[in-house]
Structure 1
């Protein structure tokens, strides 16, 4: 009697790629709040969205 051959599934030989880690300062959005200052005394009047300088707007952690 011959032995039964089995094949390995693709999931077992090739694991799914891991999702990249999110950037900590922006939370994965790529933007951070920047305070807008006006006037002679440079008083804060509000906030606007600015580019995250840690990940440069990609939203992924550059160290991973």
Structure 2
């Protein structure tokens, strides 16, 4: 008799890929406008933590 061949088969149920957060595009940081003065004029932007994903970069699945 010929010896049996054993080959590794890929798993049938692979875990789904993580969903990228849409407001920060996966970076975890968003730009926040800085306003100064009595009339609150914008002077620039600073980085802030994304409140949708809390800095992880992976969003929640809206269909789940």
Which TM-score tier does this pair reach, normalised by the shorter chain? 0.7 to 0.9
> Partner of 1:31 in structure 2?
29
- Of 40-49 and 16-25, deviating more is 16-25
Aligned residue-pair number: 62
Structure 1 CA distance, aligned partners of 2:7 and 2:58?
33
The answer for unaligned runs of 5 or more in structure 1 is none
> Partner of 1:58 in structure 2?
56
Q: Which has the higher helix share?
A: 1
> Partner of 2:5 in structure 1?
6
C-alpha deviation, 1:44, in angstroms: 0.4
Structure 1 CA distance, aligned partners of 2:28 and 2:59?
10
| TM-score between the two structures when normalised by the length of structure 2 | 0.75
Q: How far does the alpha carbon of each residue in 1:12-46 deviate from its partner, in whole angstroms, 9 at most, with x for none?
A: 23665443121111010000000000011111000
| TM-score between the two structures when normalised by the length of structure 1 | 0.75
The CA RMSD over aligned residues, in Å, is 2.4
